[in-house]
Amino acid sequence: MLADKGYDADERLIERLQTQGKTAVIPPRRNRNHSREYDRDLYKARHLIENFFAKLKQYRAMPTAGYTYATCYDKRAANFLGAIYLAASVIWLN
Report which residue type is found at 28. P
- Give CA–CA dist 10/24, Å, rounded: 10
| pLDDT over threshold 80, residue 49 | yes
User: 83 or 88: whose pLDDT is higher?
Assistant: 88
Instruction: State which H helix or E strand residue 6 sits in.
Output: none
Please, which pLDDT band fits residue 47 given cuts at 50, 70 and 90? confident
Burial 40-59 (b: 16+ CB within 10 A, else e): eeeeeeeeeeeeeeeebeeb
- pTM, full prediction: 0.56
Q: Nearest-CA neighbor of 87 among 53, 40, 48, 36?
A: 53
- Please give the pLDDT value at position 30: 83
| pLDDT over threshold 60, residue 73 | no
| pLDDT over threshold 60, residue 66 | no
- Please give the pLDDT value at position 51: 87
- Contact by Cβ (8 Å): 84, 62: yes
- Give CA–CA dist 70/81, Å, rounded: 12
